[in-house]
Structure 1
């Protein structure tokens, strides 16, 4: 007793110097995730500049985007459980360091090869950070709440919106159009390092590093293969739309306007993801299946508007349709993720999560590259109409899947 009481008093005295409280760490982690996703969409308004500067095809443009998607998938599969074994803070510090290096590669890129390298390294950093941040949000959320999942989805949506819109404005109005945005992000990530070091470390029991580095084997819960396949159509629908808008969306919008084309290009992604975040925030109480059933028709209407506006060359209709599509995109993403993550029992969550990410990032990368090939061969308008038709079909299939299996 005589030895424990002073220790407690000493601990109480030292507590204020330990850093962030758990609630503060929760909100800081959400903001950190938004910063990573800001960086993920910052290059979108610049792709057309790179294309003009180095003369590469639309296919190459979409391949650069796909390099990010593939790298983040590889990181999630290889290092998805790393923070559970070595701690959240070390993993996040390493991810911030990799992200800073990737921003510098993109900022000073002398050719398209550097874009591939920068985006691949950025995907690796974001994938490593995503698993640690997702775990931290669950660690620090108020017991009994599901606020961690909500903040995860909303932070990603708003982060992507701010990154694209902010980069578009800087490219349009600030000297050094392919430099300034990246250097500001480097500053943001550097300032985030002390915040990470000030976070409480929720992982107290460390496992073997060899076990932590074992790849996450994608698995379907036993007896739920058909259910997973049906529900995975929600990811196919939402991530296909996200991949197209983040790779070629700015080029489509830029071709419709004469004034401030780069700002308009950045606004394309911002409208989609920003309205998606608002939709998730306002309708977070919806049942997952109902969210998908509402999202499907909304997405079909939005995609029809995107196709019509591209053919008619009407920017106002395009952005109105993108706003409608964004609401559907956000609800489809929210409902699909909730349904899929609820399938696995606790002992199989890692393998099922790995498979979810495989489906998600393949749904973003493969259609995006296919769209680039079609655009190079037949033109951007034809590719956009073809994409909108395919994505609308995916949305219909996703809604239908909620009725086929309960």
Structure 2
């Protein structure tokens, strides 16, 4: 008997919810890092390693299977990725040392990498032609998901003696059910030939999208680098610099930036993509500057307010970057291109944060954050200037001429 399929609108919103849940799960460990530090006795360097190994696993997955759903279909990749996400939650449940945490984060990274490009492509496939919400949902999902995951975990820490079984047990069930839901979605992939060839690690940027992609790189690095610092060391900053040791306060910092990021994307949805990207970068740069002032003066209120304003800039700039880079991309290249965008993002997300964790042991967390913020400001301003200088760029070439990937 054939499986009943969801309508396109129902399928679109189902994928959107699943994407938010996957990204929420990736944010859950952030407020729990301090709990794990207390339980397993490790310092900031190991903490950022646990954080960073997730991003490296995610990058490996994006590079290898990021475009696979363009060839084998969206449904099988979605189902497999969600089941692997459930396995990662089970490993978190069993964790009794750093080794288990590393294993759980690797599995979670592999799953999230496989799902990110696939879900993003499915949203572009399933969106209404007269109301293209795919880029908006793709851009606001990271902020919304990470905020929900971090605040949910923070509340669990405060409410129950052992939060891990509650958090990861619920998520395990959710992802198993999500894998079943994946097979009720209509198949939207063009299923191009060359599935095995697509597994060769590559950054797949069609020729027509290469110029806007390169212009967007400094923007993506700046935004995600700051996000990586907040998610890995943000709760430690609130405790070490401002003396705010409550676990929920660290989660609220993540909410300020990531939640405001989702709001920023919504507020900028009617702006031209290039204007949203440039304006968002400038707002982000100014807000990070105010955040640095808060570290120097010890003003906790300014720290949280500037984090929220930085989030607004993040959301607008990321929405603009995604819409600018994906404009006119052929349907059979969507998953690969979106995966390439997230490759850049997660490189910026992971490597600087790991470097900051290692440096903080030598020069201190506050000095590290100040230098880190200054570099991020320079990148964000450079992105806005580069966008202005780039002009509108040449017209897109036909899809059949834009299929050549950039090898990694």
Q: TM-score, normalised by structure 1?
A: 0.88
Tell me which of 237, 240, 261 is aligned to 1:276.
261
Q: Matched residues in 1 for 2:156 and 2:93: separation?
A: 13
Higher mean C-alpha deviation, range 258-267 or range 115-124:
258-267
Contact 1:107 1:179 in 2 (8 A): yes
Contact 2:12 2:127 in 1 (8 A): yes
For 1:10, the equivalent position in structure 2 comes to none
For 2:105, the equivalent position in structure 1 comes to 119
Q: Matched residues in 1 for 2:175 and 2:331: separation?
A: 33
Paired residues for 1:79-118 under 5 Å: 79-118=65-104
Tell me which of 280, 284, 304 is aligned to 2:289.
304
SS of the counterpart of 2:84? helix
Distance 1:271 1:223, change over 3 A: closer
Contact 1:310 1:318 in 2 (8 A): yes
Contact 1:221 1:344 in 2 (8 A): no
Q: Matched residues in 1 for 2:273 and 2:192: separation?
A: 35
TM-superposed deviation, 1:118 = 0.9
Tell me which of 109, 133, 158 is aligned to 2:119.
133
Q: Matched residues in 2 for 1:199 and 1:92: separation?
A: 10
Distance 1:122 1:348, change over 3 A: closer
Q: Matched residues in 1 for 2:355 and 2:342: separation?
A: 20
CA displacement 1:5-48 (0-9 Å, x = unmatched) = xxxxxxxxx99x71422111110100000000000110000111
Matched, 1:263 2:245: no
For 2:396, the equivalent position in structure 1 comes to none
Paired residues for 1:31-46 under 5 Å: 31-46=17-32
For 2:404, the equivalent position in structure 1 comes to none
Q: Matched residues in 1 for 2:51 and 2:91: separation?
A: 15
Distance 1:366 1:259, change over 3 A: closer
Distance 1:347 1:85, change over 3 A: closer
For 1:50, the equivalent position in structure 2 comes to 36
Tell me which of 312, 317, 320 is aligned to 1:335.
320
Contact 2:19 2:116 in 1 (8 A): yes
Contact 1:76 1:127 in 2 (8 A): yes
For 1:61, the equivalent position in structure 2 comes to 47
CA root-mean-square deviation: 2.6
Distance 1:278 1:102, change over 3 A: same
TM-superposed deviation, 1:111 = 1.1
Paired residues for 1:178-217 under 5 Å: 178-203=164-189, 205=191, 207=193, 209-217=195-203
Instruction: Kindly tell me the number of residue pairs found equivalent between the two proteins.
Output: 391
Distance 1:387 1:106, change over 3 A: same
CA displacement 1:347-397 (0-9 Å, x = unmatched) = 876765554333222111111111111111111111111111111111111
For 2:405, the equivalent position in structure 1 comes to none
For 1:7, the equivalent position in structure 2 comes to none
Distance 1:352 1:258, change over 3 A: closer
Distance 1:31 1:346, change over 3 A: closer
Contact 2:74 2:189 in 1 (8 A): yes
TM-superposed deviation, 1:292 = 2.7
Gaps of 5+ in 1: 1-13
Matched, 1:322 2:317: no
Distance 1:388 1:72, change over 3 A: same
Matched, 1:240 2:225: yes
For 1:145, the equivalent position in structure 2 comes to 131
TM-superposed deviation, 1:125 = 0.3
For 1:5, the equivalent position in structure 2 comes to none
Contact 2:135 2:319 in 1 (8 A): no
TM-superposed deviation, 1:277 = 0.6
CA displacement 1:92-143 (0-9 Å, x = unmatched) = 1111111011112122211112221111110110111112212221222113
Q: Matched residues in 1 for 2:190 and 2:331: separation?
A: 20
For 2:351, the equivalent position in structure 1 comes to 366
CA displacement 1:166-212 (0-9 Å, x = unmatched) = 11111122121333221221122123233222222234757464244
For 2:12, the equivalent position in structure 1 comes to 26
Distance 1:170 1:404, change over 3 A: same
CA displacement 1:217-261 (0-9 Å, x = unmatched) = 455738956x64443111111111111111111211233566771
